[in-house]
Structure 1
Amino acid sequence: MTQEKRKKGPLQFLQFSAIGVANAGIDIGTLNLLLLLFHSDEKGLLLLYNTIAYTLAVANSYFWNARFTFQHSAKGSNRQRILFIVQGIVSLGVNNLVFMVSNTLMESFGVPNWLRYNIAKGLAMLLSFVASFFMIKYFVFKKPKKD
């Protein structure tokens, strides 16, 4: 493995993580704002709020990761945009599943709503973040092999 390849992996993950912090702020901030403005315990609305919050964070992720983290392999092609959308949908599925399952589990233990929603959101963000990084690195912005 070349020195450049060894540096690129950890650096990419660090850049992706820094952008991820901003995305987390957008994601959890949007969810909490929606809950504050339109409070609901109804699972369908919670799923909708989580989806809106995650979608805003993913849009931010695409913008910054294409310009910085994966700039050498991000070409802005239709193929990459479509693959990014596909990975975003898969990551949204992971996020929603973790959010709803962990929320339901904590509800059965009597954890208060606000705390439960935020812990569930944190777990969902963490797992979808890891899934998203590997899908983006190895699927969306995969550097073409040189012949």
Structure 2
Amino acid sequence: MTQNKKNKGPFQFLQFSVIGVSNAGIDIGTLNLLLLLFHTDERGLLLLFNTIAYTLAVANSYFWNASFTFQHAAKGSNRQRILFIVQGIVSLGVNNLVFIASNTLLESFGVPNWLRYNVAKGLAMLLSFIASFFMIKYFVFKKSKKN
């Protein structure tokens, strides 16, 4: 299989997914650590904790995806860094919105705090992961026509 074919489609999504697992560990691990150290039900602090956790995962994602998954198109240019930050902010918005909405919905059903936070975080990670993949592939690390 040529390098060009390996970098497209399912193989690229598989690489992104493997890196996503490490991002998920950082994301959910950080959130749980912050909630363990500073337990809260206050929405503003939950958003802050979620934002901190997600930001650490996004930094990990940039390093690994630029180095492996999208290395054929990653040039490390200021433009790509700015576009990555923009997609990170959009994905953070998706993540925070899904996290808070899911948490609120699950709270109305009486789901215990720890389970509620983690289910909400899992849904938030899944949806922001999918959004992030497509934004990174088609917006950030898009191969230029001259390549």
Alignment TM-score, normalising by the size of structure 1: 0.95
Residue 75 in structure 1 maps to residue 110 in structure 2: no
CA contact (8 A) 2:7 2:70 kept: no
- Alignment-derived partner of residue 112 in structure 2: 112
- Alignment-derived partner of residue 138 in structure 2: 138
2-structure distance, mates of 1:8, 1:115? 37
Q: For residue 41 of structure 2, what is the amino acid of its counterpart? A: D
Q: For residue 71 of structure 1, what is the amino acid of its counterpart? A: Q
The alpha-carbon deviation at position 3 of structure 1 amounts to: 9.9
- Alignment-derived partner of residue 45 in structure 1: 45
1-structure distance, mates of 2:113, 2:19? 28
What value does the CA root-mean-square deviation take over the aligned residues? Answer: 1.6
- Alignment-derived partner of residue 63 in structure 1: 63
Q: Map Cα deviations across residues 67-91 of structure 1 (whole Å, 9 max, x no partner).
A: 0000000000000000000000000
Q: For residue 111 of structure 2, what is the amino acid of its counterpart? A: V
- Alignment-derived partner of residue 126 in structure 1: 126
2-structure distance, mates of 1:142, 1:9? 13
Gaps spanning 5+ residues in structure 2: where? none
Identical residues among aligned pairs (%): 88
The alpha-carbon deviation at position 9 of structure 1 amounts to: 1.3
Q: For residue 86 of structure 2, what is the amino acid of its counterpart? A: V
- Alignment-derived partner of residue 101 in structure 1: 101
- Alignment-derived partner of residue 10 in structure 1: 10
Divergent runs of 4+, >3 A: 2-7
1-structure distance, mates of 2:7, 2:54? 30
Q: For residue 144 of structure 1, what is the amino acid of its counterpart? A: S
The alpha-carbon deviation at position 123 of structure 1 amounts to: 0.1
The alpha-carbon deviation at position 146 of structure 1 amounts to: 3.0
1-structure distance, mates of 2:31, 2:7? 35
2-structure distance, mates of 1:11, 1:69? 9
Alignment TM-score, normalising by the size of structure 2: 0.95
Q: For residue 73 of structure 1, what is the amino acid of its counterpart? A: A
The alpha-carbon deviation at position 44 of structure 1 amounts to: 0.3
1-structure distance, mates of 2:146, 2:3? 18
1-structure distance, mates of 2:6, 2:68? 18
CA contact (8 A) 2:7 2:69 kept: no
The alpha-carbon deviation at position 140 of structure 1 amounts to: 0.1
2-structure distance, mates of 1:71, 1:6? 12
CA contact (8 A) 2:19 2:61 kept: yes
